Amino acid sequence: MDTPDLVSRLLDVIEDDLLPLTRRGVGGGNKLFGAAILRKSDLSLVVGETNNETENPLWHGEMHAIKRFYELPAESRPAPRDCLFLATHEPCSLCLSGITWSGFDNFYYLFSYEDTRDSFGIPYDIRILKEVYAVPDPDRGYVPADRPLYNRKNAFFEAHDLQRMIAGMDRSSKERLVARVDDLNAAYNDLSATYQADKGKRGIPLS
Ligand SMILES: [Zn+2]
């Protein structure tokens, strides 16, 4: 499968499988982040989930999807190495570790940390990585401003930014897929407005 078809399939999963779940989740006071696990072989959906922090603040969309994945019967569950991990938003530090510890060697995401902070009003991905992990360089005494927040390609996984992938495509694929991202962006902005109007009432620690 070539890259435009892969990206198109991942946008389908977000639109058809994750958005309906997320609408329900946000309606119950949860954040709008979702995740899916697909088979690499045919891109069929294994698990789709969304944030469920009202039950447990660790049930981010990705963590919740991993929990459901490992609740599947072992005989019908593909090996994580044979799966593709999709996150609607770039995974936070918790979910980066969750993806790593559960054996996935990749993830794809639609919205970046900056989108999450600037468009969706949730600054914690960047804040936690900087506050908890960005240890000052002992020689220089400060954290270089251009230091990446995490290694997007490392010994455990490779991260793929769907919008960056689209930006590198031929013109017709790019126009078609950018239009789809715009529609998804609008749908997520509506959900974000609902969450932001209601947040703080459900006991989520970082809301
Ligand atoms: Zn997370």
pLDDT in tens, 98-135: 999 999 999 999 999 999 999 999 999 999 999 999 98
Amino acid in position 28: G
- Which segments within the chain are labelled E, that is strand? 34-39, 45-50, 83-89, 106-111, 158-161
pLDDT band at residue 2 using 50, 70 and 90 as cut-offs:
confident
Q: Residue 138 Cα, ligand 1 centroid: separation in angstroms?
A: 29
Q: Has domain 3-198 been given CATH number 3.40.140.10?
A: yes
Q: Where are the domains of the chain?
A: 3-198
Q: Do 48 and 36 touch, CB atoms closer than 8 A? A: yes
Q: Residue 136 Cα, ligand 1 centroid: separation in angstroms?
A: 24
Q: Quickly tell me which residue has 């054996």 as its tokens.
A: 103
Q: Residue 173 Cα, ligand 1 centroid: separation in angstroms?
A: 30
Q: Residue 128 Cα, ligand 1 centroid: separation in angstroms?
A: 11
How many whole angstroms from its chain centre is CA 55?
19
Dump pLDDT digits (tens) for 47-75.
999 999 999 999 999 999 999 999 999 99
**CA dist 18 → 45, 66, 92, 138, 152 (Å):** 11, 15, 18, 43, 24
Q: Residue 19 Cα, ligand 1 centroid: separation in angstroms?
A: 17
